[in-house]
């Protein structure tokens, strides 16, 4: 009997049950061969410092597609907007108060706070500008960078521009705070400050502020009192020259690059606006600011031995700071407009000085008054023209 004849005599069910057995053995053999092939390839890869040629040939045959080609890149981390904030803080405008708040907020909201310890280098060379901007851009986001530095134009060097924020105050009040802080420090005590400023001679330390202003000492004259505007005008040399060009450039930069510029006289409203505009940084800031524990720290930033110059000296100083006051009034108006848009009631405080009155007097006193020159008008005490802070 032939095999074909014998197969015909077998039951159909028996034949069908044998077919899967043959295919199962083949599959098993194929799997084992594949496993051996890849194990051998892996071993060869490690021994020779690279994949075997056969694997490269297979990859070339199959194409050079990768996981990223087939599935796309992984979903990026969702960052708040804006995630890059720069606070180029103006000296003696409440910046130490705000930095204390930022340290507490950074821990609470998990953003990167980088506060520079460089205080006396606000103007940079072109190379220093680029280096600083690159360093800022490399901070892991979200971040808030703060330093005493004049405005940096990132886009000029084709670097992504961060969002700016800042706070200013009445120019004469800022000047007085700085004048006495340099000499006598703050809550840490006058003796402690004397130790920290050994290079200052007594003649300079105890120089009467009225003499400094009226006798045209460099510290009390331009360009030294032209202080706030350069922080917003930028790094251009002309930004340090008192005049209309620097003033208008500063205003333009505020409108184009600053999310908010507040005024220290209305600090609580500044913090409230920051909480609204940058919630991922400033949520809860007002509660912290009003807390008893923070009040203890906040009281440590006040300048000591600060007193008011005579009205005669204030008039001269106001004239020297006329561009600073133009800018301050512009910022004050912009701030109140922002409050109105947000829906905050503006509890507007009167200006620290009466612009019309002092401007009129300034026109009559273009140069510092002589020591023996007396004012013609009986004026009220100068303290009424200052807002103490």
Name the residue among 307, 305, 91, 300 with its Cα closest to residue 194: 305
Residue 64 CA to residue 245 CA, distance in Å, equals 59
Q: Are 262 and 244 in contact (CB under 8 A)?
A: no
| Torsion region of 216: left, alpha or beta (phi above 0 gives left; psi -120 to 50 gives alpha) | left
Active site residue 127: no
Residue 245 CA to residue 334 CA, distance in Å, equals 20
Determine which one of 109, 148, 280, 336 is catalytic.
Answer: 148
Give the three-class secondary structure for 260: strand
Question: Within 10 Å of residue 315's Cβ, how many Cβ atoms?
Answer: 25
Name the residue among 244, 264, 262 with its Cα closest to residue 252: 244
Q: Which residues pair with 85 in a beta bridge?
A: 144, 163
Residue 139 CA to residue 114 CA, distance in Å, equals 8
Q: Are 113 and 143 in contact (CB under 8 A)?
A: yes
What is 27-73 written as a DSSP string? HHHHHHHHHHHHHHHHHHHHHHTS--HHHHHHHHHH-S--HHHHH-S
Question: Within 10 Å of residue 91's Cβ, how many Cβ atoms?
Answer: 17
Residue 154 CA to residue 294 CA, distance in Å, equals 35
DSSP 8-state symbol, 101: H
Contact residues for 334 (Cβ-Cβ < 8 A; gap 6+): 254, 261
288 by Cβ neighbours in 10 Å (0-12 / 13-18 / 19+) ranks as middle
Give the three-class secondary structure for 262: strand
Contact residues for 258 (Cβ-Cβ < 8 A; gap 6+): 163, 164, 165, 166, 232
How many residues are given for the chain?
389
Positions marked active-site: 148
């Amino acid at each position: 009997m032939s095999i074909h004849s014998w197969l015909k005599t077998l039951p159909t069910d028996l034949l069908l049950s044998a077919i899967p057995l043959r295919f199962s053995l083949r599959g098993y053999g194929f799997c084992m061969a594949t496993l051996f092939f890849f194990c051998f390839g892996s071993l060869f890869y490690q021994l020779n410092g690279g994949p075997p040629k056969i694997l490269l040939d297979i990859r070339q045959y199959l194409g050079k597609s990768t996981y990223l080609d087939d599935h796309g890149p992984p979903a990026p981390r969702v960052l708040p907007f804006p995630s890059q904030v720069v606070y180029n803080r103006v000296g003696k405008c409440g910046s130490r108060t705000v930095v204390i708040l930022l340290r507490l907020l950074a821990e609470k909201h998990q953003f990167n706070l980088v506060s520079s310890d460089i205080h006396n280098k606000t103007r940079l060379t072109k190379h220093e500008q680029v280096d600083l901007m690159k360093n800022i851009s490399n901070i892991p986001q979200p971040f808030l960078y703060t330093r005493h530095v004049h405005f940096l134009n990132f886009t000029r060097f084709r670097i992504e521009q961060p969002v700016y924020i800042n706070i200013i105050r009445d120019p004469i009040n800022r000047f007085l705070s700085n004048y006495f802080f340099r000499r006598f420090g703050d809550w840490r005590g006058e003796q402690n400050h004397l130790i920290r400023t050994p290079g200052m001679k007594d003649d300079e330390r105890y120089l009467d502020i009225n003499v400094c202003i009226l006798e045209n000492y460099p510290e009390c004259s331009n360009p030294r009192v032209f202080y706030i505007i350069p922080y917003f005008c930028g790094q251009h040399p002309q930004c340090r020259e008192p005049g209309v060009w620097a003033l208008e450039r500063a205003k333009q930069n505020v409108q184009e690059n600053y999310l908010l510029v507040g005024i220290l006289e209305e600090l609580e409203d500044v913090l409230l606006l920051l909480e609204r505009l940058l919630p991922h940084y400033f949520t809860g800031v007002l509660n912290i600011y009003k807390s008893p524990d923070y009040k203890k720290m906040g009281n440590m930033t006040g300048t000591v031995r600060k007193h008011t110059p005579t009205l005669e000296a204030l008039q001269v100083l106001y004239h020297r700071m006329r561009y600073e006051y133009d800018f301050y009034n512009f910022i004050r108006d912009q701030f109140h407009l922002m409050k109105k848009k947000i829906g905050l009631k503006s509890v507007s405080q009167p200006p620290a000085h009466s612009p019309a009155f002092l401007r009129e007097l300034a026109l009559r006193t273009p140069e510092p008054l002589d020591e023996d020159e007396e004012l013609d008008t009986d004026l009220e005490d100068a303290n009424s023209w200052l807002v103490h802070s």
